[in-house]
Structure 1
Amino acid sequence: MTAATTDTAHPHRSAPDGAGGTGRAPVGASRALALLLFLGGLVGLAASAVLTFDKLRILENPSYVPSCNINPVISCGSVMRTEQAEVFGFPNPLLGLAAFGALAAIGAGLLAGAAYRRWFWLALNAGTAVGVVFVHWLIDQALYDIGALCPYCMVVWATVVVLFWYTTLHNLRTGVIPAGRRLRVVAGEAARYHWALPVLWAAVIALLVLNRFWYYWSTLL
Protein backbone atom coordinates (compact mmCIF):
# COMPACT_ATOMS: atom_id res chain seq x y z
CA MET A 1 0.00 0.00 0.00
CA THR A 2 2.87 2.35 0.74
CA ALA A 3 4.30 1.97 -2.72
CA ALA A 4 0.93 2.86 -4.18
CA THR A 5 0.87 6.26 -2.50
CA THR A 6 4.18 7.60 -3.73
CA ASP A 7 2.67 9.11 -6.88
CA THR A 8 -0.41 10.67 -5.33
CA ALA A 9 1.30 14.03 -5.32
CA HIS A 10 0.06 14.23 -8.93
CA PRO A 11 -3.41 12.66 -8.93
CA HIS A 12 -4.56 15.04 -11.69
CA ARG A 13 -2.43 13.44 -14.38
CA SER A 14 -5.46 11.59 -15.72
CA ALA A 15 -7.60 14.73 -15.78
CA PRO A 16 -6.46 18.37 -16.06
CA ASP A 17 -7.30 20.67 -13.17
CA GLY A 18 -10.05 22.37 -15.13
CA ALA A 19 -11.94 19.15 -15.76
CA GLY A 20 -12.91 18.33 -12.24
CA GLY A 21 -14.43 21.63 -11.23
CA THR A 22 -16.87 22.02 -14.12
CA GLY A 23 -18.86 18.85 -13.49
CA ARG A 24 -19.00 18.22 -17.30
CA ALA A 25 -15.92 16.10 -17.97
CA PRO A 26 -15.30 12.81 -16.15
CA VAL A 27 -12.30 12.80 -13.83
CA GLY A 28 -9.80 9.97 -13.74
CA ALA A 29 -7.02 9.31 -11.27
CA SER A 30 -3.33 8.55 -11.19
CA ARG A 31 -2.31 4.92 -11.26
CA ALA A 32 -1.08 5.30 -7.68
CA LEU A 33 -4.48 6.42 -6.37
CA ALA A 34 -6.28 3.76 -8.41
CA LEU A 35 -3.96 1.08 -7.01
CA LEU A 36 -4.43 2.43 -3.49
CA LEU A 37 -8.22 2.23 -3.75
CA PHE A 38 -8.01 -1.26 -5.23
CA LEU A 39 -5.53 -2.67 -2.70
CA GLY A 40 -7.09 -0.77 0.22
CA GLY A 41 -10.47 -2.18 -0.74
CA LEU A 42 -9.04 -5.71 -0.86
CA VAL A 43 -7.31 -5.34 2.51
CA GLY A 44 -10.46 -3.99 4.16
CA LEU A 45 -12.53 -6.68 2.46
CA ALA A 46 -10.23 -9.42 3.76
CA ALA A 47 -10.34 -8.04 7.32
CA SER A 48 -14.13 -7.70 7.17
CA ALA A 49 -14.46 -11.27 5.86
CA VAL A 50 -12.42 -12.68 8.76
CA LEU A 51 -14.46 -10.67 11.26
CA THR A 52 -17.71 -11.83 9.65
CA PHE A 53 -16.59 -15.46 9.80
CA ASP A 54 -15.61 -15.19 13.45
CA LYS A 55 -18.85 -13.40 14.30
CA LEU A 56 -20.89 -16.17 12.68
CA ARG A 57 -18.91 -18.78 14.60
CA ILE A 58 -19.63 -16.96 17.85
CA LEU A 59 -23.34 -16.83 17.03
CA GLU A 60 -23.28 -20.58 16.38
CA ASN A 61 -21.18 -21.35 19.42
CA PRO A 62 -20.97 -18.71 22.19
CA SER A 63 -17.89 -20.44 23.62
CA TYR A 64 -15.96 -20.11 20.35
CA VAL A 65 -12.60 -18.37 20.80
CA PRO A 66 -11.38 -16.38 17.75
CA SER A 67 -7.76 -16.85 16.72
CA CYS A 68 -7.07 -13.16 17.40
CA ASN A 69 -7.78 -13.55 21.12
CA ILE A 70 -4.17 -13.06 22.16
CA ASN A 71 -4.30 -11.49 25.62
CA PRO A 72 -6.69 -9.45 27.82
CA VAL A 73 -6.16 -6.37 25.64
CA ILE A 74 -5.88 -7.86 22.14
CA SER A 75 -9.14 -9.77 22.17
CA CYS A 76 -11.49 -9.87 19.17
CA GLY A 77 -14.01 -12.00 21.05
CA SER A 78 -14.46 -9.36 23.73
CA VAL A 79 -15.21 -6.76 21.06
CA MET A 80 -17.50 -8.95 18.95
CA ARG A 81 -19.79 -9.73 21.88
CA THR A 82 -20.61 -6.07 22.57
CA GLU A 83 -23.56 -3.97 21.44
CA GLN A 84 -21.15 -1.69 19.57
CA ALA A 85 -20.30 -4.61 17.26
CA GLU A 86 -23.91 -4.54 16.00
CA VAL A 87 -24.66 -0.85 16.22
CA PHE A 88 -27.14 -0.95 13.29
CA GLY A 89 -28.79 -4.18 14.33
CA PHE A 90 -26.49 -6.46 12.35
CA PRO A 91 -22.75 -7.26 12.58
CA ASN A 92 -20.60 -4.27 11.64
CA PRO A 93 -18.31 -6.36 9.39
CA LEU A 94 -21.19 -6.75 6.94
CA LEU A 95 -20.87 -3.02 6.28
CA GLY A 96 -17.19 -3.58 5.58
CA LEU A 97 -17.92 -6.35 3.10
CA ALA A 98 -20.16 -4.03 1.08
CA ALA A 99 -18.10 -0.83 1.38
CA PHE A 100 -14.66 -2.30 0.79
CA GLY A 101 -15.95 -4.49 -2.01
CA ALA A 102 -17.24 -1.35 -3.73
CA LEU A 103 -13.93 0.46 -3.18
CA ALA A 104 -11.99 -2.41 -4.70
CA ALA A 105 -14.31 -2.34 -7.72
CA ILE A 106 -13.84 1.43 -8.10
CA GLY A 107 -10.07 1.03 -7.92
CA ALA A 108 -10.16 -1.74 -10.51
CA GLY A 109 -12.19 0.48 -12.80
CA LEU A 110 -9.71 3.33 -12.44
CA LEU A 111 -6.81 0.99 -13.14
CA ALA A 112 -8.59 -0.02 -16.35
CA GLY A 113 -8.81 3.63 -17.38
CA ALA A 114 -12.25 4.59 -16.11
CA ALA A 115 -13.11 8.19 -15.27
CA TYR A 116 -16.00 9.29 -13.10
CA ARG A 117 -18.25 12.33 -12.93
CA ARG A 118 -17.74 14.96 -10.26
CA TRP A 119 -20.79 13.79 -8.30
CA PHE A 120 -19.28 10.31 -8.09
CA TRP A 121 -16.02 11.59 -6.64
CA LEU A 122 -17.92 13.75 -4.14
CA ALA A 123 -20.03 10.75 -3.13
CA LEU A 124 -16.87 8.68 -2.68
CA ASN A 125 -15.36 11.42 -0.55
CA ALA A 126 -18.52 11.68 1.54
CA GLY A 127 -18.60 7.92 2.00
CA THR A 128 -15.01 7.77 3.20
CA ALA A 129 -15.68 10.76 5.50
CA VAL A 130 -18.64 8.93 7.08
CA GLY A 131 -16.35 5.91 7.43
CA VAL A 132 -13.75 8.00 9.25
CA VAL A 133 -16.35 9.36 11.69
CA PHE A 134 -17.68 5.86 12.35
CA VAL A 135 -14.19 4.44 12.78
CA HIS A 136 -13.26 7.08 15.33
CA TRP A 137 -16.44 6.39 17.26
CA LEU A 138 -15.44 2.72 17.31
CA ILE A 139 -11.93 3.68 18.46
CA ASP A 140 -13.43 5.67 21.33
CA GLN A 141 -15.69 2.77 22.28
CA ALA A 142 -12.89 0.21 22.09
CA LEU A 143 -10.55 2.26 24.24
CA TYR A 144 -12.83 3.77 26.84
CA ASP A 145 -15.93 1.59 27.00
CA ILE A 146 -15.14 -1.96 25.85
CA GLY A 147 -11.53 -1.91 27.03
CA ALA A 148 -10.22 -4.30 24.36
CA LEU A 149 -8.76 -4.17 20.86
CA CYS A 150 -9.42 -6.22 17.75
CA PRO A 151 -6.42 -6.49 15.35
CA TYR A 152 -8.62 -6.84 12.28
CA CYS A 153 -10.65 -3.84 13.37
CA MET A 154 -7.44 -1.83 13.63
CA VAL A 155 -6.57 -2.83 10.06
CA VAL A 156 -9.94 -1.43 9.01
CA TRP A 157 -9.31 1.78 10.98
CA ALA A 158 -6.00 2.39 9.22
CA THR A 159 -7.41 1.56 5.80
CA VAL A 160 -10.37 3.93 6.12
CA VAL A 161 -8.17 6.83 7.27
CA VAL A 162 -5.71 6.37 4.41
CA LEU A 163 -8.43 6.07 1.77
CA PHE A 164 -10.23 9.16 3.09
CA TRP A 165 -7.06 11.25 3.06
CA TYR A 166 -5.96 10.38 -0.45
CA THR A 167 -9.45 10.68 -1.89
CA THR A 168 -9.78 14.15 -0.36
CA LEU A 169 -6.35 15.17 -1.62
CA HIS A 170 -7.21 13.97 -5.12
CA ASN A 171 -10.50 15.89 -5.13
CA LEU A 172 -8.82 19.10 -3.99
CA ARG A 173 -6.03 18.81 -6.54
CA THR A 174 -8.34 18.10 -9.48
CA GLY A 175 -10.91 20.74 -8.55
CA VAL A 176 -13.65 18.24 -7.76
CA ILE A 177 -13.95 19.99 -4.41
CA PRO A 178 -14.28 23.72 -5.17
CA ALA A 179 -11.43 25.59 -3.55
CA GLY A 180 -9.88 29.01 -3.78
CA ARG A 181 -6.43 29.47 -5.24
CA ARG A 182 -4.80 29.61 -1.81
CA LEU A 183 -6.38 26.34 -0.72
CA ARG A 184 -5.34 24.73 -4.00
CA VAL A 185 -1.77 25.82 -3.31
CA VAL A 186 -1.98 24.35 0.19
CA ALA A 187 -3.31 21.10 -1.30
CA GLY A 188 -0.40 21.07 -3.72
CA GLU A 189 2.07 21.47 -0.87
CA ALA A 190 0.28 18.78 1.11
CA ALA A 191 0.63 16.46 -1.87
CA ARG A 192 4.41 16.82 -1.70
CA TYR A 193 4.35 15.42 1.84
CA HIS A 194 1.25 13.28 1.39
CA TRP A 195 2.52 10.63 3.80
CA ALA A 196 2.89 13.01 6.76
CA LEU A 197 -0.74 13.32 7.82
CA PRO A 198 -1.56 9.56 7.80
CA VAL A 199 1.63 8.87 9.75
CA LEU A 200 0.79 11.57 12.31
CA TRP A 201 -2.80 10.30 12.49
CA ALA A 202 -1.60 6.76 13.18
CA ALA A 203 0.90 8.00 15.76
CA VAL A 204 -1.81 9.84 17.72
CA ILE A 205 -4.02 6.74 17.79
CA ALA A 206 -1.05 4.58 18.80
CA LEU A 207 -0.28 6.95 21.69
CA LEU A 208 -3.91 6.81 22.83
CA VAL A 209 -3.76 3.00 22.77
CA LEU A 210 -0.45 3.00 24.63
CA ASN A 211 -1.77 5.37 27.29
CA ARG A 212 -5.10 3.57 27.73
CA PHE A 213 -3.58 0.14 28.22
CA TRP A 214 -0.33 1.14 29.83
CA TYR A 215 -1.34 -0.77 32.96
CA TYR A 216 -1.01 -3.95 30.89
CA TRP A 217 1.87 -3.02 28.58
CA SER A 218 3.99 -2.07 31.60
CA THR A 219 3.71 -5.62 32.96
CA LEU A 220 5.40 -6.92 29.80
CA LEU A 221 8.51 -4.78 30.24
Structure 2
Amino acid sequence: MSPTSSQSPSSQGVDIADPAPDGSAAEREHLAWLLTVCGGLGLAAALILTVEKIALLADPSYRPSCSINPVISCGSIMTSWQAELFGFPNPLLGIAGFSVLATTGVVLLAGAVPTGWYWDAVFIGLTAAVVFVHWLIFQSLYRIGALCPYCTLVWLVTVLAWWYCLLQRETADPARPGRWRPLLRRHHAVPPTMWVLTVLALITEAFWPYWRTLL
Protein backbone atom coordinates (compact mmCIF):
# COMPACT_ATOMS: atom_id res chain seq x y z
CA MET A 1 0.00 0.00 0.00
CA SER A 2 1.47 3.35 -0.96
CA PRO A 3 1.86 6.08 1.69
CA THR A 4 -0.68 8.27 -0.05
CA SER A 5 -3.40 5.62 0.18
CA SER A 6 -3.60 6.05 3.97
CA GLN A 7 -4.17 9.80 3.83
CA SER A 8 -7.27 11.04 5.60
CA PRO A 9 -10.00 12.67 3.51
CA SER A 10 -9.17 16.07 5.02
CA SER A 11 -5.55 15.80 3.91
CA GLN A 12 -6.76 15.20 0.37
CA GLY A 13 -8.73 18.46 0.39
CA VAL A 14 -12.10 17.03 1.39
CA ASP A 15 -13.84 19.24 3.93
CA ILE A 16 -15.01 17.24 6.93
CA ALA A 17 -17.55 19.49 8.63
CA ASP A 18 -17.66 19.53 12.41
CA PRO A 19 -21.01 20.14 14.04
CA ALA A 20 -21.58 23.85 14.10
CA PRO A 21 -22.84 24.73 16.56
CA ASP A 22 -21.13 21.80 18.26
CA GLY A 23 -22.19 20.26 21.55
CA SER A 24 -23.47 17.09 23.09
CA ALA A 25 -25.63 14.78 21.02
CA ALA A 26 -28.58 15.43 23.36
CA GLU A 27 -28.28 19.19 22.96
CA ARG A 28 -28.10 18.92 19.19
CA GLU A 29 -31.16 16.66 19.18
CA HIS A 30 -33.09 19.11 21.35
CA LEU A 31 -32.15 21.95 19.02
CA ALA A 32 -33.16 19.85 16.02
CA TRP A 33 -36.61 19.19 17.47
CA LEU A 34 -37.05 22.82 18.44
CA LEU A 35 -36.14 24.06 14.96
CA THR A 36 -38.44 21.49 13.38
CA VAL A 37 -41.40 22.42 15.58
CA CYS A 38 -40.81 26.18 15.42
CA GLY A 39 -40.26 26.02 11.68
CA GLY A 40 -43.37 23.90 11.17
CA LEU A 41 -45.61 26.13 13.30
CA GLY A 42 -44.25 29.29 11.71
CA LEU A 43 -44.70 27.85 8.23
CA ALA A 44 -48.30 26.87 8.99
CA ALA A 45 -49.06 30.36 10.30
CA ALA A 46 -47.43 32.00 7.27
CA LEU A 47 -49.39 29.78 4.87
CA ILE A 48 -52.69 30.55 6.60
CA LEU A 49 -51.96 34.28 6.51
CA THR A 50 -51.08 34.05 2.82
CA VAL A 51 -54.35 32.28 2.02
CA GLU A 52 -56.29 34.87 4.03
CA LYS A 53 -54.46 37.70 2.26
CA ILE A 54 -55.28 36.25 -1.17
CA ALA A 55 -58.94 35.95 -0.18
CA LEU A 56 -58.93 39.55 1.02
CA LEU A 57 -57.36 40.74 -2.23
CA ALA A 58 -59.99 38.86 -4.24
CA ASP A 59 -62.84 40.22 -2.13
CA PRO A 60 -62.21 43.43 -0.13
CA SER A 61 -65.32 42.68 1.94
CA TYR A 62 -63.90 39.31 3.06
CA ARG A 63 -63.58 38.92 6.83
CA PRO A 64 -60.48 36.89 7.78
CA SER A 65 -61.10 33.95 10.09
CA CYS A 66 -58.82 35.50 12.70
CA SER A 67 -60.77 38.78 12.87
CA ILE A 68 -62.73 38.16 16.05
CA ASN A 69 -63.19 41.54 17.73
CA PRO A 70 -61.84 45.12 17.54
CA VAL A 71 -58.51 44.04 19.06
CA ILE A 72 -57.99 40.57 17.59
CA SER A 73 -58.40 41.73 14.02
CA CYS A 74 -56.18 40.27 11.30
CA GLY A 75 -58.01 42.29 8.66
CA SER A 76 -56.82 45.56 10.18
CA ILE A 77 -53.24 44.35 10.02
CA MET A 78 -53.46 42.81 6.54
CA THR A 79 -54.71 46.07 5.02
CA SER A 80 -51.95 48.17 6.62
CA TRP A 81 -48.81 49.26 4.80
CA GLN A 82 -46.75 47.53 7.48
CA ALA A 83 -48.07 44.18 6.22
CA GLU A 84 -46.25 44.74 2.92
CA LEU A 85 -43.11 46.50 4.07
CA PHE A 86 -40.98 45.18 1.19
CA GLY A 87 -43.64 45.53 -1.49
CA PHE A 88 -45.17 42.07 -1.06
CA PRO A 89 -47.08 40.38 1.79
CA ASN A 90 -44.87 39.72 4.80
CA PRO A 91 -46.07 36.09 5.14
CA LEU A 92 -44.16 35.25 1.96
CA LEU A 93 -40.98 35.96 3.90
CA GLY A 94 -42.25 33.59 6.57
CA ILE A 95 -42.92 30.82 4.07
CA ALA A 96 -39.34 31.04 2.82
CA GLY A 97 -37.68 31.47 6.20
CA PHE A 98 -39.65 28.89 8.15
CA SER A 99 -39.23 26.35 5.35
CA VAL A 100 -35.47 26.68 5.76
CA LEU A 101 -35.78 26.45 9.54
CA ALA A 102 -37.96 23.33 9.49
CA THR A 103 -35.75 21.69 6.88
CA THR A 104 -32.68 22.41 9.01
CA GLY A 105 -34.32 20.71 11.97
CA VAL A 106 -35.29 17.65 9.94
CA VAL A 107 -31.79 17.41 8.46
CA LEU A 108 -30.31 17.47 11.96
CA LEU A 109 -32.72 14.78 13.13
CA ALA A 110 -31.63 12.65 10.18
CA GLY A 111 -28.06 12.83 11.46
CA ALA A 112 -26.58 15.22 8.91
CA VAL A 113 -24.27 17.99 10.06
CA PRO A 114 -24.41 21.32 8.19
CA THR A 115 -21.14 23.22 7.87
CA GLY A 116 -20.22 26.24 9.94
CA TRP A 117 -21.05 28.78 7.25
CA TYR A 118 -24.55 27.35 6.97
CA TRP A 119 -25.12 27.81 10.70
CA ASP A 120 -23.80 31.35 10.46
CA ALA A 121 -26.27 32.08 7.66
CA VAL A 122 -29.16 30.58 9.65
CA PHE A 123 -28.25 32.63 12.72
CA ILE A 124 -27.89 35.84 10.73
CA GLY A 125 -31.27 35.20 9.13
CA LEU A 126 -32.86 34.54 12.52
CA THR A 127 -31.29 37.69 13.96
CA ALA A 128 -32.74 39.77 11.12
CA ALA A 129 -36.10 38.06 11.67
CA VAL A 130 -36.03 38.88 15.39
CA VAL A 131 -35.36 42.55 14.64
CA PHE A 132 -38.22 42.55 12.13
CA VAL A 133 -40.53 40.82 14.61
CA HIS A 134 -39.94 43.47 17.26
CA TRP A 135 -40.60 46.21 14.74
CA LEU A 136 -43.87 44.44 13.88
CA ILE A 137 -44.76 44.15 17.57
CA PHE A 138 -44.34 47.90 17.99
CA GLN A 139 -46.36 48.62 14.87
CA SER A 140 -49.10 46.20 15.88
CA LEU A 141 -49.50 47.55 19.41
CA TYR A 142 -48.91 51.27 18.96
CA ARG A 143 -49.60 52.15 15.33
CA ILE A 144 -52.14 49.70 13.88
CA GLY A 145 -53.83 48.98 17.19
CA ALA A 146 -54.73 45.37 16.51
CA LEU A 147 -53.49 41.83 17.11
CA CYS A 148 -53.26 38.85 14.79
CA PRO A 149 -53.14 35.42 16.50
CA TYR A 150 -51.08 33.91 13.69
CA CYS A 151 -48.67 36.83 13.84
CA THR A 152 -48.18 36.40 17.58
CA LEU A 153 -47.39 32.73 16.96
CA VAL A 154 -44.78 33.83 14.43
CA TRP A 155 -43.31 36.23 16.98
CA LEU A 156 -42.98 33.44 19.55
CA VAL A 157 -41.43 30.75 17.37
CA THR A 158 -39.00 33.23 15.80
CA VAL A 159 -37.70 34.39 19.16
CA LEU A 160 -37.48 30.82 20.51
CA ALA A 161 -35.54 29.59 17.46
CA TRP A 162 -33.18 32.57 17.63
CA TRP A 163 -32.58 32.23 21.37
CA TYR A 164 -31.78 28.53 21.33
CA CYS A 165 -29.52 28.88 18.29
CA LEU A 166 -27.71 31.67 20.14
CA LEU A 167 -27.54 29.53 23.27
CA GLN A 168 -26.07 26.62 21.35
CA ARG A 169 -23.45 28.88 19.76
CA GLU A 170 -22.46 30.32 23.13
CA THR A 171 -22.38 27.09 25.13
CA ALA A 172 -21.08 24.58 22.60
CA ASP A 173 -18.28 26.41 20.81
CA PRO A 174 -14.99 25.41 22.50
CA ALA A 175 -13.37 28.62 21.23
CA ARG A 176 -15.70 30.75 23.36
CA PRO A 177 -15.13 31.44 27.08
CA GLY A 178 -16.83 28.73 29.11
CA ARG A 179 -17.54 30.39 32.48
CA TRP A 180 -21.14 31.23 31.56
CA ARG A 181 -22.01 27.83 30.10
CA PRO A 182 -23.30 26.15 33.29
CA LEU A 183 -25.44 29.19 34.13
CA LEU A 184 -26.88 29.44 30.62
CA ARG A 185 -27.63 25.74 30.46
CA ARG A 186 -29.25 25.72 33.89
CA HIS A 187 -31.46 28.77 33.29
CA HIS A 188 -31.96 28.54 29.54
CA ALA A 189 -35.73 29.05 29.80
CA VAL A 190 -35.54 32.28 31.82
CA PRO A 191 -34.88 34.78 28.97
CA PRO A 192 -37.64 33.51 26.64
CA THR A 193 -40.05 33.31 29.59
CA MET A 194 -39.26 36.90 30.54
CA TRP A 195 -39.74 37.94 26.92
CA VAL A 196 -43.17 36.29 26.77
CA LEU A 197 -44.24 37.93 30.03
CA THR A 198 -43.01 41.32 28.79
CA VAL A 199 -44.93 41.03 25.52
CA LEU A 200 -48.06 39.93 27.40
CA ALA A 201 -47.71 42.93 29.70
CA LEU A 202 -47.33 45.27 26.72
CA ILE A 203 -50.40 43.74 25.05
CA THR A 204 -52.40 44.11 28.27
CA GLU A 205 -51.37 47.73 28.68
CA ALA A 206 -51.85 48.71 25.03
CA PHE A 207 -55.39 47.31 24.83
CA TRP A 208 -56.45 47.71 28.44
CA PRO A 209 -59.45 49.95 27.62
CA TYR A 210 -60.91 47.08 25.59
CA TRP A 211 -59.92 44.30 28.00
CA ARG A 212 -61.57 46.25 30.80
CA THR A 213 -64.93 46.10 29.02
CA LEU A 214 -64.76 42.30 29.15
CA LEU A 215 -64.41 42.17 32.93
TM-score where L is the length of structure 1? 0.85
> 2:46·2:94 contact (CA, 8 Å) conserved in 1?
yes
Q: Partners in 1 of 2:165 and 2:111 — Cα distance?
A: 17
Task: Give the 5 Å matches for 1:43-192.
Answer: 43-175=41-173, 179=176, 181=177, 184-192=178-186
Identity %: 48
What is the Cα deviation at residue 188 of structure 1?
A: 3.0
Aligned amino acid, residue 205 of structure 1: V
Q: Structure 2: any 5+ residue segments left out of the alignment?
A: 1-14
Number of the residue aligned with 1:204: 198
**Could you tell me which of 40, 48, 63 is aligned with 2:38?**
40
Task: State the Cα distance separating 1:187 from its structure 2 match.
Answer: 3.4
Is the CA contact 1:49–1:93 (under 8 Å) kept in the aligned structure 2?
Answer: yes
> Quick one: which amino acid aligns to residue 167 of structure 1?
C
Greater Cα offset, 118-127 or 47-56: 118-127
Shift of 1:24: 6.7
- Do the aligned partners of 1:121 and 1:171 also contact (CA within 8 Å) in 2? no
- What is the aligned partner in structure 1 of residue 18 from structure 2? 26
Q: How far off is 1:117 after superposition? A: 1.7
Q: 2: CA distance between counterparts of 1:99 and 1:24?
A: 27
SS in structure 1 of the partner of residue 180 of structure 2: helix
Secondary structure at 1:89 match in 2: coil
Whole-angstrom CA distance in 2 between matches of 1:75 and 1:198: 26
1:110-166 alpha-carbon deviations (Å, 9 max, x no partner): 000011222221211111111100000000000110000000000000000000000
Tell me how large the CA RMSD over aligned residues is: 1.5
Shift in Å, 1:185: 2.1
| SS of match in other structure, 1:30 | helix
1:19-75 CA deviation, whole Å, 9 max, x = no partner? Answer: xxxx97421662111011011100000000000000000000000001111110000
Q: Does the 8 A contact of 2:127 with 2:162 survive in 1?
A: yes
Dislocated runs of 4+, deviation >3 Å: none
Cα distance in 2 for residues equivalent to 1:174 and 1:195: 17
User: Which runs of no fewer than 5 residues in structure 1 stay unpaired?
Assistant: 1-22
Contact kept in structure 1, 2:171 and 2:184, CA below 8 Å: no
Query: Is the radius of gyration larger for structure 1 or structure 2?
Result: 2
Residue 108 of structure 1 deviates from its aligned partner by 0.4
- Secondary structure of 1:185's match? coil
